[in-house]
Structure 1
Amino acid sequence: MTLIALRPAILLRTLAAHSVILLWCVSLATGASETTVEAPSPSAQYGQLFLVSTGIGDLDNMTLRARDTIAEADIVFGMKRLREQLAELLQGKDTYEAGHGLFRTLGRNDEDQQELEAQARQVIRAAVADGKSVVILDYGDPMIYGPQSGYLQEFADLDPVVVPGLSSFNAANAALGRAIVGGGKSQGIVLTSAPRETDEAARQEAFARLAKAKPTLVLFTMRSDFEHTIAALGRWYPADTPIAIVTHAGDRQQQVITATLATIGEQIKGRELPFEHLIYVGDFLR
């Protein structure tokens, strides 16, 4: 005999879907000559929760699977900007504000966040139990610094499905037009956020760990202090180490700025970098 362990959520769905078979088997065991079996109610069918990437930059960077999943959804959660961009695709659907970083410890826990979390719990659980499809919209690759990844932990018992998308990392690689693995001295890549420790000693220790193996560094900046970041890198990498900044990756207004650690400061002097920029450091740029 083979024993198969099922998670509670999956077991409930399996029992609901096969209730007719179970009842038929019971009738045979009891010798009943006639048994009237009703099909399970729609609410017993269970819906599905999706975390869907809309890609990065222009909307044509969205995958077909993502577009189809959104089109078939009954209910959609998303930040205001995404809901506005996808207004045509979302027509006729119930839409809700998804917030930013809900169900995660990001230093914010005000009344607005608590209200959004309470609304999401109520709406999503009721909708899935009622057989509906619910989509949470996200950017880029939801598993690389995705602001909505907290939904996966909060609703883990619903077995949410992640629909991957184009990351700003992928789009920036294309903008650079260079293979970031191979060539030069570096054979590895580190994707990380630029250290934002307020304590200078902690900042230097973080960069020392990153630079120890001299890998290609790809820094997701996320409001980090650019000058401090470059100064910290300069203590661990040679001054002639190539650096590139990609702004608005995947967008028609994307730009690439290349220099060295010694010259990048002068290169961007007087310019205000947008929130949407990545920093590349490594020999592959030579």
Structure 2
Amino acid sequence: MAKRFMQSLAALILILTVAFLGLGLTPGSAEAAKGKFYVIGTGPAGPKTATLQALETIEKMDAIVAPARHAKLFAKYIGKTPVVADPWRNIWDYKGKPYSKLSKEELAAYKVERFKSRDRTVAMIKELMAKGKNVGLLDFGNPCLFGPSHWFVEHFKKDEIVIIPGMGCDSAAMAALGASTIPAHGTRFVVQTAPFFLMDRAASPGMGFNPDSPEAQQVLADLARHEHTLILYMALKDPIKLFKTLGRHWAKDMPAACVFWAGYPDKQQVVRGTVGDLGPKLASMPEHMMGLLFVGRFLEGKPYEAAMYRHQGGKK
């Protein structure tokens, strides 16, 4: 009986070996065990705001794709794993120059080069995966909310990708504000966007916006008719212009706040004001990138309790 079993097992091994060889593969080869592309949400401020799942995933990777800042923050978890590329090199700049400061000729060249750079990085990741390597791209915050990693993700098959969720800067900023964005008074919804998505940007390249277009004015008017919480990303390029625009439709006394460096214990700062006066305050601040804007009545009183009384049909 044992002899027959061993003969059958030997025959099965022979069949599998022939099958692998027929495909140009060998059992245990890299091609037989293709790697995956992991997009790892690391939170807004380093390991302390990353999840255990994110940290454990980083430790298991065979190669890391990350900018120098990320590599430094997560050096303990990356260990000796090679950092093979900076995913944002040539994506937000051209020859070391920010895209917002490029000449007309440089801007044209940049628009071509950023796609070429992306394609080179994708090709490199796919080559590593074909060798059986798991590649992890470190993305700040929540990879699926203003996560630039999708610049790469969309060029892989669904079964080749694993996205590890991360806490967004909005979560850290809301904690800093210490108020409920919803439920809050009569708030119907929360809007998370950026000025150049919310308003027409056809006449404003880059991160600019054109608030004077009929389309932009209609969107703003429609939005302002309903009580809501507005969260604006990448909104500090021209805060005076932004709040002047919002002031056309939102009450001047509408509470507003900006949380700078959300989640960073040594840098986090909250600046409060109203639609009528926050613009100049923010314009005077030295930081014009790492800030998240909030507008809404949730910033005043006891917003959660007010909502509970409202929904129960009574008043305090």
TM-score, reference length from structure 1: 0.79
Number of the residue aligned with 2:34: 46
Asked if structure 1 preserves the Cα contact closer than 8 Å seen for 2:272 and 2:278, the reply is yes
When residues 147 and 128 of structure 1 are mapped into structure 2, their CA distance, relative to the original with a 3 A threshold, is same
Aligned partners of 2:217 and 2:286: how far apart in 1? 24
RMSD of aligned alpha carbons: 2.7
Count residues with an aligned counterpart: 253
When residues 267 and 127 of structure 1 are mapped into structure 2, their CA distance, relative to the original with a 3 A threshold, is closer
Asked if structure 2 preserves the Cα contact closer than 8 Å seen for 1:207 and 1:232, the reply is no
Task: Describe how 1:79-118 pairs up with structure 2 within 5 A.
Answer: 79-95=67-83, 96-99=85-88, 108-111=110-113, 113-114=114-115, 116-118=117-119
Asked if structure 1 preserves the Cα contact closer than 8 Å seen for 2:118 and 2:151, the reply is no
When residues 134 and 269 of structure 1 are mapped into structure 2, their CA distance, relative to the original with a 3 A threshold, is closer
When residues 222 and 263 of structure 1 are mapped into structure 2, their CA distance, relative to the original with a 3 A threshold, is closer
When residues 174 and 243 of structure 1 are mapped into structure 2, their CA distance, relative to the original with a 3 A threshold, is same
Higher helix share: 2
Number of the residue aligned with 2:311: none
The CA deviation at 1:74 is 0.5
Is it true that 1:67 corresponds to 2:55 in the alignment?
A: yes
The CA deviation at 1:88 is 3.4
Is it true that 1:234 corresponds to 2:234 in the alignment?
A: no
Identity of aligned residues (%): 25
Greater shift in the superposed pair: 62-71 or 205-214:
205-214
Aligned partners of 1:175 and 1:199: how far apart in 2? 30
The CA deviation at 1:100 is 6.0
The CA deviation at 1:182 is 1.8
| SS of residue in 1 equivalent to 2:75 | coil
Asked if structure 2 preserves the Cα contact closer than 8 Å seen for 1:204 and 1:232, the reply is no
Number of the residue aligned with 1:282: 296
* Structure 2, unpaired ranges of 5+: 1-7, 18-25, 92-98, 100-106, 197-207, 301-316
Task: Describe how 1:101-250 pairs up with structure 2 within 5 A.
Answer: 108-111=110-113, 113-114=114-115, 116-195=117-196, 196-198=208-210, 200-201=212-213, 203-250=216-263
When residues 223 and 100 of structure 1 are mapped into structure 2, their CA distance, relative to the original with a 3 A threshold, is farther
TM-score, reference length from structure 2: 0.72
Aligned partners of 1:261 and 1:199: how far apart in 2? 16
Tell me the amino acid that sits aligned with residue 63 of structure 2: I
Asked if structure 1 preserves the Cα contact closer than 8 Å seen for 2:254 and 2:275, the reply is yes
